[in-house]
Structure 1
Amino acid sequence: MASDSGLALGDHAPSHRISFFAIVWFSETGGTHHIDFESFPVRANEVFLLAPNQVHSIPAPTLPPARTIVFAHDIFDRIDEPHLRQLFLPFENIAFSIPDAMQAPLTHLFDLILLECNGLADIALLLKYTTAFLTHLYRFGKHNPQVSGAEDHRLVKLFHLMQMHYRQEKSAAFYAREIGLTAKRVNELLREKMGTTVSKLLYRLMLIEAKRELYHRQHSVKEIAYGLGFSDQSYFARFFKKQTGLTPEEFRGGAR
């Protein structure tokens, strides 16, 4: 579950999808890394959280030293606090900076996770340690005003539904109905929490997946367009260029 050596997920240049949740804590400053084709500087004592299906890469020639914690859905699904699960949402990739005063305590906490992984690997204890680590990250982050606990649970369900159905369902009314709210209230919550709307999140999900598919070259542009729910290839091409400034073919050609 954990590593204290060089970065354990992600190799050099080839971007790849990860199949697990990951906490990446960089130990030194220098270079860049990429999450879903967005570039971020590598800085000491900054932490990034990754979710399954995100694309992560670090350019050659060297991997920056980092502590990593990786875990599967069976751990993630046991995290009771919705606001901690929301930290892994792939809509925005935030760097959490660990203050100087907390670097030693969190290093000790990480060491406890590593020790337990290499020993009895008690899931209940690992969950407590991991939840404690995420709670500290949540405190370090810059967050919008909190919504109520019930609304937090609904937002977690909303994000899960969107990730499952964004290819087929593009209507805010569909997602609102599934979580027992009106479309107006869902968009109000999203504006309060993340400064966005259902439509904007759906566009972001489609754009991220389009980039992943184009990069990996397993399907034609036409197949990608239809797979994402576009009625024709030209509509998809206009959407992609509006969001990126590039045609799908230009992005695919420059992604190698």
Structure 2
Amino acid sequence: MKPTAPPVLALKSFPPSAGPRPYYVAGLAEHLARFPHVREPHAHDFYLLIYVTEGAGLHTIDQVTYELRPGSLFFLAPGQVHHWQLPPEVQGYVVFFSAEFYLFRYPGPRLYEYPFFDGIRPPVLYLPPAETGLLGLLQRLHAETRAEQPQQVEVVRAYLLLLLELAARHVAAPATGAAALAQQQIRQFGVLLNQHYRQQRTVQQYAEHLHLTAGHLNAVCRRVLNKTASALIHERVVVEAQRLLAHSALSVAQVADELGFDDPSYFGRYFRKYAGRTPEAYRQQHR
């Protein structure tokens, strides 16, 4: 029988060889050799970055499979389920950190505003070969953490800030005016959606949170992401349903209850409408 849910790994599950730290940095090949179980589906209670320098494979995040190749930079937020298929020659870097580690020095909403953590945009950047700034930072961060150094925690935190800020520049050119406002509204919508998708599934509810009309929120989403707000809400609900169906032993009725559906039959119709098959058929395909 399947476990109730995929394991959720804590930061302390990955002790660095130099001793406990409030972060984890390692070469990708070294990481996979020390912790081979990470090839199986699992989630984390922390944030992580994965940068690939050599090798090619597949990386599945929340049931969506992405190409993994040199120059790939993946971003995962707490709770996302992922697994990968990697060749023996894969090389790169992994960086793990908790929200508390970042927020201790950089408080405020910035961590939740990064576009690659909003649950709406793809969680990967495919960087061109000419882009060496982020790779250089990762190499120096990796070297910094090989042994204890004075003020190392602050140095690592500063490197992390630089990595996230410079990576965010690759998502899109900084917007100004109305475009900047639209992107801010999209980020806020993404945060709200991750908080409330189990209880709130109408555009009007999210629009009220944002002090917008439902029509305006739909228009902003369509302009920035080429999807309606309604489509994004349904996608978020279906992704969570797929996680539970694929990685847990919960019955369909229990999955429905977990996602806030009072009627399992309605959940079945909802899932079939937006996923293209019944919950039972989806589970059978992903056993």
Q: Which residue of 1 aligns with 2:53?
A: 27
Task: Give % identity.
Answer: 26
TM-score, normalised with respect to structure 2: 0.75
Contact 1:26 1:46 in 2 (8 A): yes
Q: Residue 47 in 1 paired to residue 70 in 2?
A: no
| Residue 84 of structure 1: how far off its partner (Å) | 5.6
* Residue of structure 2 equivalent to 1:107: 135
Residue ranges of structure 1 left out of the alignment (5+ in a row):
none
1:112-123 equivalences in 2 (<5 Å) = 112-117=140-145, 119=149, 120-123=151-154
> CA offset at residue 169 of structure 1?
1.1
Q: Could you tell me which of 252, 262, 286 is aligned with 1:221?
A: 252
Runs of 5+ consecutive residues of structure 2 not aligned to the other structure = 1-23
User: Which runs of at least 4 in structure 1 moved beyond 6 Å after TM superposition?
Assistant: none
Aligned residues: 254
Deviations 1:92-135 (A, max 9, x none): 324312222323x3332113333444533334x43432232233
Give the Å deviation of 1:206: 0.7
Per-residue deviation at 1:144? 9.8
Question: 1:139 maps to which residue?
Answer: 169
Q: 1:190 & 1:207 partners in 2: Cα distance?
A: 18
Say whether 1:245 aligns with 2:276.
Answer: yes
| Secondary structure at the counterpart of residue 175 of structure 1 | helix
Bigger RCO (CA 8 Å, 6+ sep): 2
The answer to whether the 8 Å contact 2:113/2:187 transfers is no
1:232 aligns with 2:263: yes
Change (3 A) 1:60 1:157: closer
1:145 and 1:195, CA in 2 relative to 1: closer, same or farther beyond 3 A? farther
Distance (Å, rounded) in 2 between the aligned partners of 1:255 and 1:202: 23
Q: Distance in 1 between matches of 2:56 and 2:183?
A: 36
**Could you say which residue in structure 1 is the equivalent of 2:64?**
38
Q: How far off its partner does 1:76 sit? A: 5.1
Q: 1:2 aligns with which of 25, 36, 46?
A: 25
Post-superposition offset of 1:47: 0.9
* Aligned residues of 1:173 and 1:183 also touching (Cα < 8 A): yes
Is 1:85 aligned to 2:114, yes or no? yes
Which range is displaced more, 54-63 or 195-204?
A: 54-63
Provide the alpha-carbon RMSD of the alignment. 3.0
The equivalent residue for 1:69 is 95
Segment of structure 1 superposing worse, 17-26 or 83-92: 83-92
* 1:203-237 CA-partner distances (Å, limit 9, x unpaired): 11111110111122242110111221224222222
C-alpha separation between the residues in 1 aligned to 2:86 and 2:251? 28
Structure 2 CA distance for aligned equivalents of residues 50 and 155 of structure 1: 18
Report if the CA contact (8 A) 2:81-2:243 is conserved: yes
Following superposition, the deviation at residue 249 of structure 1 comes to 1.7
Q: Distance in 1 between matches of 2:225 and 2:36?
A: 28
Structure 2 counterpart of 1:111, which letter?
Q
Deviation digits for residues 57-86 of structure 1 (CA, Å, limit 9, x no counterpart)? 013775833311111112455376579612
CA distance in 1, matches of 2:258, 2:56: 38
The equivalent of 1:254 in structure 2 is: 285
